[in-house]
Amino acid sequence: MSSQDQWSVLHKFKGILFSTMSSEELLNSLDCFDAREDDVFLVSYPKSGTHWIAEVIKNIPNARITLTSPIELGDISKFEELKTYCERRVIPTHLSYDMLPTNVKQKQCKVIYIIRNPKDTAVSLFHYYRENPNLPGIETWNEFFELFLRGDVVYGSWFDHVLSWEEHKNAQNILIIFYEEMKTDLSKNIKKITTFLGLNLTDGEINMIARKTSFSEMKNNAVKENCDPNHTICALTSNRRLVFRKGAVGDWINYFTSKQKRVFDELFTEKMKHSELAGHFGEYS
């Protein structure tokens, strides 16, 4: 990947790589955002399941909720656009805790943070880089692996991102959801999400949402609804076909060499030594 290729689609803001779809002006102005008490932020590192949670929320019956496009997508006019929504806003973002608008923290808006095993996240992001014209061209997995380890990828280091949110994991307004647990028991996690949002659903309604938001169902719908700007949940593309690839748990094993696994595990142990969340990935690593 040439540096020219990288800088045509990415730029650095506060030391972190962002897509040029997020203007520097907008990123600089995030603290001007006027949050509402009932706003919900849907947060994750890229390729961790934001679309999945968004689909769950979209399928909640009679919820009077509007799913917006990401807060960091576009230019300064984004804040005016967000003001136009009358219903309760669910706002996706891939921002770290530190970059979240101050107003959101002051008003203690609800936040759902989704975490996925970093090895599967790396593989998924590798494919995203290869297929998404809004990201730099990457030739090989080995090349991407090195970038991911260094945090030289869009939205920076997975470790820094997760740790920035873990610091606030006990806050009452933050709900942490694990991608792998969604795969194991979708209904249980839908119940967690709806309860957190203060919505009472019957078991029948929860099971209906689970049916509609199974991975295969979402992938089929993505093909039908491709490139609909109203379904832009990711600040990196509006092409829904790029979003749902495999959704598999443990697919990393088909990509990591034994040396890469060793190097990654050493880094994980070092970076996550004080993390309580790290234990969740044991059986998947």
Positions annotated as catalytic residues are 94
**252 and 117 in contact (C-beta within 8 Å)?**
yes
Dihedral of the CA atoms 279, 41, 28, 11 (nearest 10)? Answer: 60
33: tokens are 């955002």
Q: How crowded is residue 195: how many other Cβ atoms within 10 Å of its Cβ?
A: 12
Give the Cα separation of 235 and 239 in Å (integer): 11
Please provide the DSSP assignment of 190-224 as one string: HHHHHHHTT----HHHHHHHHHHTSHHHHHHHHHH
Query: Which residues, in sequence order, are CB contacts of 223 under 8 Å at separation 6+?
Result: 240, 241
Give the Cα separation of 18 and 113 in Å (integer): 19
